[in-house]
Amino acid sequence: MELLIVTGMSGAGKSRVADVLEDIGFFCVDNMPPKLLPTFTQILMQSREERSRIAIVVDARLGGSFNDLFDVLGELKSMDCNYKILFVDADNDVLLHRYQETRRKHPLSDKYGYETSEAIAKEREILLPARTAADFLVDTSQMTTATLKSRIAGMFLTDAVKSLKISCCSFGFKYGIPKESDLVFDVRCLPNPFYVPELKEHTGLEAPVRDYVMKFDQSKNLVPKLFDLVDYLVPLYREEGKSQLTIAVGCTGGKHRSVVFAELLYDHLNSRGDTCNVFHRDINR
């Protein structure tokens, strides 16, 4: 049985993540007290029902009982339960804006009497050990609902659950580097299709833009060097037991050059048999 523990900041999108996980075949349970995890897991492991993929949301809404989580994880290990932790995060400013926009109260506000900004800071402090121990990290600060769905589905829709999952991400530096990035490559040194009038409104997913980017020697020479570095690094990450590797490729706006190279990396890694997905964070901005 594969057990995924979903946690993270309130307002970062855990409910949406759970919805996506349910759509791709996970049995999802929201807001379970950690002390119930071993009993619940044991029941599922002994059940006749086929529930091979379970996702359980555990977060700061539980108050002080959230701190029981790490004691419980030791019990799960003794039961030979294969679990992973997914942490859903977002910038403090983004979280504050989301609470202001929805006019909802932060779950810690009533208990501690905090203003929303203070409650967010307190929650981040409480959740720091979980974030540090997480096998997967997803930062939703710049993600649309569709992008988040694509990201989660790409991470967990494969059967190779024990392998290193690689995400190739394009982004625009003007919107910030993706927080979950492990490797960041800057392709702003290459000729920019943005300044070609007939290409400006198109993206790197389209042949005219791709052909333009790749017609220059700078681009052609960069490809084998980039592939060689990635081919060298990926096995090292796998040997270290890393579960998720995010390779981010950035250009100025995240629509042209970075998209072309993220797609090239994705095709290359797929051809090697790696478990890989690709998403383009800023392509529709």
Chain segment 85-139, per-residue pLDDT in tens:
999 999 999 999 999 998 888 988 877 778 899 999 999 998 999 999 999 999 9
Q: How much is the pLDDT for 200?
A: 95
Q: What is the pTM of this model?
A: 0.66
**Bridge partners, 183 (sequence order):** 247
Phi-psi region of 37 (alpha: psi -120 to 50; beta: other; left: phi over 0): alpha
Largest CA distance in the chain: 63
Per-residue tokens: 219: 């681009």
The rounded distance, in Å, linking the Cα atoms of 155 and 278 is 10
Please answer whether residues 110 and 116 qualify as being in contact, where contact means their C-beta atoms are separated by less than 8 angstroms.
no
Q: How much is the pLDDT for 224?
A: 97
Please answer whether residues 139 and 179 qualify as being in contact, where contact means their C-beta atoms are separated by less than 8 angstroms.
yes
The rounded distance, in Å, linking the Cα atoms of 237 and 197 is 42
Q: How much is the pLDDT for 14?
A: 94
Q: How much is the pLDDT for 75?
A: 87
In the chain, the N- to C-terminal Cα span, in Å, equals 40
Secondary structure of residue 29 in the 3-state scheme: strand
What stretches of the chain adopt beta strand conformation (E)?
Answer: 2-8, 27-30, 53-57, 82-89, 136-139, 165-172, 183-186, 244-251, 275-280
| Percent of the chain whose predicted confidence (pLDDT) is above 90 | 61
| From 150-159, 180-189, 193-202, the region with the lowest mean pLDDT | 150-159
Per-residue tokens: 129: 């050990």
Confidence of residue 169 (pLDDT cuts 50, 70, 90): very high
Please answer whether residues 63 and 126 qualify as being in contact, where contact means their C-beta atoms are separated by less than 8 angstroms.
no
Q: Which residue has the tokens 């988040």?
A: 148
